[in-house]
Amino acid sequence: MNYEIFPMSERHVQGVYEIEKNSFHTPWSFEQIAGELDNKNACYLVAVDGEKIQGYLGAHIVLDEGYITNIAVRAGCRRRGIASGLLLEFFDENGGVNKVTLEVRVSNLPAIKLYERFGFKIVSARKNYYKNPDEDAYLMEWRREV
């Protein structure tokens, strides 16, 4: 699969929303995703094959810290390196970031393994963080090595 990674623009919002609602139990709304275009702290990247969005990564960055809000890949395109490519691009574009955090469902072993390959470590658990169904989350953290 060939894809390119771009910053999210208005033309990408509908595709991101489609992946979002098909990937998460409590997805962000179209309006919430579109609103990120006006958020000066937001960093949204899309992986595009032709005109079709295959995946995206959303994050907020304040000073030298980042928080990954969501990473999702279109069903049928998973396990093809798209999420890894998005993470690589995120770190390339945000070289001044020294710490990044995210939450992940404790049952999402493929995502946990992906994050661990990038150097994220589980630092704590958040009881009943997710709803529909209720589930704990791991708080994972990446720190730049000094």
Q: Which residues are catalytic?
A: 103, 115
d(CA 61, CA 16): 20
Q: Output b/e per residue, 19-55; b: 16+ Cβ within 10 A.
A: bbeebeeebbeeeebbebeeeeebbbbbbbeeeebbb
